[in-house]
Structure 1
Amino acid sequence: MSKRASFQHSRRPSLSRVRGAVVAAGLGASMVLGVGAAFAAAGAPGSVSLISSGAAESVAQQAAAQSKAAKTAKAAKAKAKAERVAAKKAAAKKAAGWRTPVSRYELSASFGNDGARWSHKHSGQDFAVPVGTKVEAAHGGTVVKAGPNGGGDGPAYGKAVVISHGNGTYSQYAHLSQIHVHIGQTVKAGQKIALSGNTGNSSGPHLHFEIRNTPHYGSAVNPVSFLHKKGVLV
C-alpha cells in the first residue's frame, strides 16, 4: 500500500467522526431551534391569550369592586336622604305639636291646690323660673289677650297673654315681666311671646300657665293632664 493510500485510509475515521459531530451538532441545533420555534409558536399567541385572560380577570374584579362601591355609596346617600326627610318631618311635627311654655323649670304650685294666695283653688300650673326667662307659645294659634291686669282677667295675674288654638282650646301665660306679642297676632308653637316675671299676685318669680275652654278666667282644666294627653312630658 502506498503512503498516499495509507494516509487517505487513516483520514477516513477522522472524517467520519467529524461528519458525525457535524451531523450531531446540526441535529442538536435543529432540535434547539425547533424547541425555540415551538416556544415561539406556543408562546406568542398562547402567552397573549394567557395575559389577556389575566388582565380580563383583573378588570372584571376591579369593575365588580367599583360596582359594589357605587352601590354602597348610593345606598348610603339614599339612607342619608331618608334620615334628612325623617328629621324634617319630625321637626315639622314637633313645631306643629304641643310643648311646655318654658324649657328649663321646676314645678311649683299645681292645678287645684288650695292656699291663702288664691280666692279659689289654683287654676293652673306654676313653672318656677328666673325673671326674664323666655316664654314660648305652647301651641300655634292667635293671640286674643295681651297686656297688664291679666289681659283683662284681673290684676292678680299681672301681665298676661291668652292664645286661642281653635276647637275651644286656649292657653294663658301670666305674671310676665315683658310681653312681645299683640292681640290678633298669629304665633307658632315654640315662638317667643314674652319673658317671665313676678307681676301681679305672685309669691316669687315664676310662670303661671293655664289651659282653658274659653279665653276667660274660670274655664281652666288641668294643664299637666292636658299636655300629657298631647304626648308632652312635664
Structure 2
Amino acid sequence: MSKRATFQHSRRPSVSRVRGAVVAAGLGTTMVLGAGAAFAAGAAASAPDAASLVVNTAAAESVAKQATVQGKAAQVAKQAVAKKAAEAKKAAKKAANLATSWEAPVSHYQLSASFGNDGSRWAHKHSGQDFAVPIGTRVEAAHSGVVVKAGPNGGGDGPAYGNAIVIKHSNGMYSQYAHLSQIDVRIGQAVQTGEKIALSGNTGNSSGPHLHFEIRHTANYGSAVNPVMFLQKEGVTV
C-alpha cells in the first residue's frame, strides 16, 4: 500500500467513533431537556401551593375580621343587657320608695285652719288640716293605697265636705281629701304616691278655696288624727 493511501485512511474517522459521538450528543440533549422538563414540572407543582397559600391567608383574615365584628356585637349586646338591668333595678327601687313614702297632698300652698281648731265655722273641733290653694290646684295621693270613697256629699261623710275622696293605705290608716272641684278616681282604684286624684275646689261647707286634708284610723268621720304630726313622723314637713 502506498503512503498516500495510508495517510487518507488514517484521517477518516471510524464508524464506531462517529456512532459514539452521536450517542453522546443525544444523551446530552436528553439530559438538558430532562432537566428543563423537571424544572418546569417542579414549577408547575409549586404553583398550586402558592395559590392555596394566598387563598388560605385571605380566609384567615376574613375569619379574624368576622370574629372581631362578632366580638364587638357581643360587647354591645352585653352592655345593653346591663343597662336594661340597671334601669329595671332603678325603676323597682323607685316603685318601692313610692310604696313606702308619704308626701303633702298639694304644692305651693299656705296653711290655714289646723287640726283641733274650734269656732262657729265647725259643729265640732276641726278634724283636719286646711291647705289654702286656688280652685283647680292639682291634688295628689299622699300615699299609695286603694280608693274606698269618692263622690259628692263628702263621699258619704256628709254635705259639709262637698266632693271628697278617702283612700285606704297598707298601714291601716286612711287619708281624706275634701271640698274638691273635680274627682279623677273611682272606688276600688289603686293609686300611687304622688298620683293626681282630683282638683281642689270650694264645695260643701267652705269659707274659701282650699283643700281639707285628714288622716284617719277608719274610713269614716270621727276617727281623725293630727295630719301634720302624722306626716312629720313619716318624714314630711308641711
Classify the TM-score, shorter chain: 0.5 to 0.7
Equivalent of 1:58 in 58, 61, 65: 61
Give 1:142-157 correspondences, 5 Å limit.
Answer: 142-144=147-149, 146-148=151-153, 151-152=156-157, 155=160, 157=161
Give 1:43-122 correspondences, 5 Å limit.
Answer: 44-83=47-86, 85-86=88-89, 89=92, 92-93=95-96, 96=99, 98=101, 100=103, 105-109=107-111, 112=115, 120=125
Aligned residues of 2:181 and 2:200 also touching (Cα < 8 A): yes
In structure 2, how many angstroms separate the alpha carbons of the residues matched to 1:71 and 1:174? Answer: 57
- TM-score where L is the length of structure 1: 0.60
Q: Which residue matches 2:136? A: 132
Aligned residues of 1:98 and 1:232 also touching (Cα < 8 A): no
Q: Which residue matches 1:3? A: none
In structure 1, how many angstroms separate the alpha carbons of the residues matched to 2:179 and 2:80? Answer: 50
* Rg larger for: 2
| Change in 2 beyond 3 A, CA 1:130/1:90 | farther
Determine helix, strand or coil for the equivalent of 2:79.
Answer: helix
Equivalent of 2:210 in 202, 206, 219: 206
The residue identity in structure 2 corresponding to 1:163 is I
Aligned residues of 1:159 and 1:178 also touching (Cα < 8 A): yes
Equivalent of 1:172 in 151, 156, 176: 176
Aligned residues of 1:145 and 1:152 also touching (Cα < 8 A): no
In structure 1, how many angstroms separate the alpha carbons of the residues matched to 2:52 and 2:150? Answer: 90
Aligned residues of 2:180 and 2:203 also touching (Cα < 8 A): yes
| Change in 2 beyond 3 A, CA 1:38/1:226 | farther
Deviation at 1:101? 6.8
Q: Which residue matches 2:226? A: 221
Paired residues, number = 200
Determine helix, strand or coil for the equivalent of 2:74.
Answer: helix
Q: Gaps (5+ residues) in structure 1?
A: 1-25
In structure 2, how many angstroms separate the alpha carbons of the residues matched to 1:145 and 1:64? Answer: 63
**Is 2:165 aligned against 1:161?**
yes
Aligned residues of 2:134 and 2:210 also touching (Cα < 8 A): yes
In structure 2, how many angstroms separate the alpha carbons of the residues matched to 1:60 and 1:199? Answer: 77
Q: Which residue matches 1:22? A: none
In structure 2, how many angstroms separate the alpha carbons of the residues matched to 1:39 and 1:124? Answer: 106
Determine helix, strand or coil for the equivalent of 1:131.
Answer: coil
Determine helix, strand or coil for the equivalent of 1:164.
Answer: strand
Aligned residues of 2:151 and 2:183 also touching (Cα < 8 A): yes
In structure 1, how many angstroms separate the alpha carbons of the residues matched to 2:96 and 2:68? Answer: 41
Q: Gaps (5+ residues) in structure 2?
A: 1-28
Aligned residues of 1:177 and 1:199 also touching (Cα < 8 A): yes
The residue identity in structure 1 corresponding to 2:181 is S
In structure 2, how many angstroms separate the alpha carbons of the residues matched to 1:197 and 1:88? Answer: 34
User: Between the two proteins, what is the percent identity of the paired residues?
Assistant: 39
Q: Which residue matches 1:18? A: none
